[in-house]
A and B are shown apart, each in its own frame.
Chain A
Amino acid sequence: MTTVEPIFHAVAPARRRRANRRVTIIAVMATLVLALFALTLALGQSYTPLGDVVRVLLGEDVAGATFTVGQLRLPRALVAVLAGLCFGLGGVAFQVMLRNPLASPDIIGISSGASAAAVFAIVILSLRGPAVSLIAVAAGLGVALLIYGLASRGGVAGTRLILVGIAVSAMLESIVAYVLSQAPAWTLQEAMRWLTGSVNGAQLGQALPLLLALCIFGGLLFSRARDLEALRLGDDMAAGLGVRVGRTRMIIIVAAVGLIACATAVTGPIAFVAFLSGPIAARIVGNSGSLLLPAGLVGAVLVLAGDYAGQFLLPSRFPVGVVTGVLGAPYLLFLIVRANRSGGSL
């Protein structure tokens, strides 16, 4: 008794400090997202003063700014933020649930499933709008179940899941390539979107399905945040803590696939955002508490910053997926090297 109490007294403030630190970090990250959002709105080919930006957002008619900010920059920035949030959340949910940073949806083929379905719906069936998102979600779920089924033989082994996913995504990417080659008016712009992901030519109407997805699937995911944390300890431990493992896993898969597929249906598979957000968030906030919100914010930062860099900071214009692809791959290699060095299980 006498030894327990001092420890107890030491633990409580430490916990409080950690919680405070977490709140601070999340606040800083949210501010960063807002700052990047404002930067995207204010500074493009020409500079629009922030006052004018705010007036445009409030619906006023400002000469010279209404079109650039309201029609060009706002939809683009909005779609970038929402897609980034979706990718970040969906990615980290998979990584945490499967307890493997490499098991992110863009590596195990779920993104390419959604992307193949979306490009098929748009190019061959000439659908638009919500129907595309629905088909993408359905295909994403189908691919997720397929990979899960193929990888399970006496329990799902992470290794097998990743290898099966690599093969499935190679196959699906060749579908994307084929459908693109069948497109009647095959434009480079459109192709780039489905090969690497891009927010070029985003429209305000596209932000709506993203927002809906974020509300429904994101809400579902956050409502299970606690169970997801428990799953990090292993399935048996989680079951011991009172989590209904099978049901929780199903709900998380549906929610995460929904997020990823809706975002992919709009922007294409923006390379590596889903994969990178989780590990970066874990580095920043440490291992205390849920990674969902931080990873979502990191995703938004990545897409916003990548798109801005691709548009204005590089010698010529690149879609955001090319920027994140070139930057993300070295990080993946670094992760492999580090895991190999430490002899960890990969």
Chain B
Amino acid sequence: MIASATSPSPWRFSARRTARSRSLWLAAVTLLLVLLCGLSVSIGSRSVAWADIFAALGGRLDGVEQAAVAVRIPRTLLALLAGAALGLSGAVMQGVTRNPLADPGIFGVNMGASLAVVVGVAWFGIVSAQAYIWTAIFGAGCAAVFVYTIGSMGRGGATPLKLALAGAATSVAFSSMVVAVVLPRSDIAGGIRSWQIGGVGGATFDQIWPVLPFLAVGAALSLVSARKLNSLALGDELAAGLGESVALARAVASLGAVFLCGGITAVCGPIGFVGLVVPHLCRLFVGVDHRWLLPFSTLAGGCLLLLADVFGRIIARPGELEVGIVTAFVGAPFFIWIVRRQRVREL
């Protein structure tokens, strides 16, 4: 189904893409990423001279300007990581479920992570960053299994509509439960919004370091499964015929995706639609081969979230728009576009 989303005959389509053109695109997207990192550090509600930016990057902290830039550095890093993790996990989820509408936000996985953290904080008194991340990953995993089980029951297996509906319903339920858990606890209720809308504002390096190992494990598991995802794209029977252990491949890839989106949700809160948009865009450039698609989605995801974050800072000056809101605005029309171009029977 993913293959048919990009072109009627995927194999000829991807064969036309030489390694050289892909490498060129990869270089281009890396360049874009560096450029956006620069933008993200230099643009904000306060305009700062270039001299101050370089001084702050060098570690100096003289005056307000340089301090402002120093705040933007961890924020840029977090946006980059969050986008990369969500883009990669979205690509993996679309591969695992063979579903063009797969996204950790739409499938309720991010909200599951959110709920687990809220419950952990409110009822079990978790405080350490490590515990946060494990709880979030646990929640994300449970939500993923739950939504996939419900969405794939009955005839026709896991169709996009059933999965999307199951995910939407689960999201609403989890979001209500988050409110129900947080509301009686005035001591943590102030943070309720950060568990409803994702954002990267106010990030610190102390928040980022603990999550890095989890993201690394998730990324490794995902990238290792690239070849297996290619086999899965042919359909379960054919993949099994090629000697692939379908269930194992699915489990490993999903685990990687869950580590990625659970870990990042523990830091940023639920950010939707990045995982949906990025792989679709990337397929236009590098084709459907997951060995190229996954790394490309990682980089492009970082680009998208950086861009969304910078945009959110420019558009709502002197305040700022949380990045979760910007991605919903970019992502929802994209989702509609995908829905419109598919034939009804495929949905």
**Chain A interface residues (CB < 8 Å from chain B):** 102, 107, 150, 153, 157, 159-160, 162-164, 166-168, 170-171, 173-175, 177-178, 180-182, 188, 191-192, 195-196, 271-272, 315-319, 321-322, 325-326, 328-330, 332-333, 336-337, 339-343, 346
Q: 25 A-B Cβ contacts within 8 A?
A: A159-B161, A160-B339, A160-B340, A163-B101, A163-B164, A163-B336, A163-B339, A163-B347, A164-B336, A167-B332, A174-B328, A177-B197, A178-B321, A178-B325, A188-B189, A188-B192, A192-B183, A322-B179, A325-B175, A329-B170, A329-B173, A329-B176, A336-B151, A336-B165, A346-B165
* Beta-carbon nearest neighbor of A186 in chain B: B193
User: A340 to B189, Cβ gap below 8 A?
Assistant: no
B168 within 8 A of A: yes
Interchain CB contact under 8 A, A168 and B329: no
Binding site for A on B (CB under 8 A): 101, 106, 150-151, 153-156, 160-162, 164-166, 168-170, 172-173, 175-177, 179-180, 183-184, 189, 192-193, 196-197, 272-273, 319, 321-322, 324-325, 328-329, 331-333, 335-336, 339-340, 344, 347
Q: Cβ of A332: which chain B residues have Cβ within 8 Å of it?
A: 165, 169, 172-173
Contact A159 B176 (CB under 8 A): no
Pairs A-B, 5 closest by C-beta atoms: A340-B154, A329-B173, A325-B176, A316-B184, A171-B332
Q: Which residue of B lies closest to A335 (CB)?
A: B169
Interface of B is mostly: helix
A336: B residues at CB distance < 8 A: 150-151, 162, 165-166, 169
- Bound-complex Cα distance A171 to B328 (A): 5
Contact across chains for B332 and A326 when beta carbons are under 8 A apart: no
Q: Which residues of A contact B193 (CB under 8 A)?
A: 177, 180-181, 191
**Given A177-B196, A316-B183, A322-B183, A166:B168 Cβ within 8 A:** yes
CB <8 Å contact, B335 and A167: yes
Question: Please, which residues of chain B bring their CB within 8 A of the CB of A326?
Answer: 173, 176-177, 180
Cβ contacts under 8 Å, B176 to chain A: 196, 271, 321-322, 325-326, 329
Distance in Å from the Cβ of B142 to the closest Cβ of chain A?
Answer: 14
A160, A163, A171, A315: most-surrounded residue (chain B CB, <10 A): A163
Known pairs A340-B150, A346-B165; list 18 more (Cβ under 8 Å): A157-B344, A160-B347, A163-B339, A164-B340, A170-B272, A177-B196, A181-B197, A191-B193, A271-B176, A315-B184, A318-B179, A326-B173, A326-B177, A328-B172, A329-B176, A330-B173, A333-B169, A336-B169
> Are B329 and A159 in touch, CB under 8 angstroms?
no
The residue of chain B having its C-beta at the shortest distance from the C-beta of A174 within the complex is: B328
Q: Which of A107, A188, A346 contacts B162 (CB 8 A)?
A: A346
Tell me the smallest distance from the CB of B312 to a CB of chain A, in Å: 10
Closest residue of chain A to B176, judged by CB? Answer: A325
Q: A337 CA to B169 CA in the complex, in Å? A: 12
Bound Cα distance from A102 to B168, whole angstroms: 12
Residue contact B339 to A170, C-beta cutoff 8 Å: no
A174 near B153 (CB under 8 angstroms)? no
Q: Given A178-B321, A318-B180, A322-B176, decide whether A343 and B154 contact each other with a Cβ distance below 8 A.
A: yes
Task: State how many angstroms separate the Cβ of B154 from the closest Cβ of chain A.
Answer: 3
In the complex the two chains form, what is the Cα distance from A200 to B156 in whole Å?
45
Determine whether the beta carbon of B161 is less than 8 Å from that of A163: yes
- Give the chain A neighbours of B106 by CB distance below 8 A: 166, 170
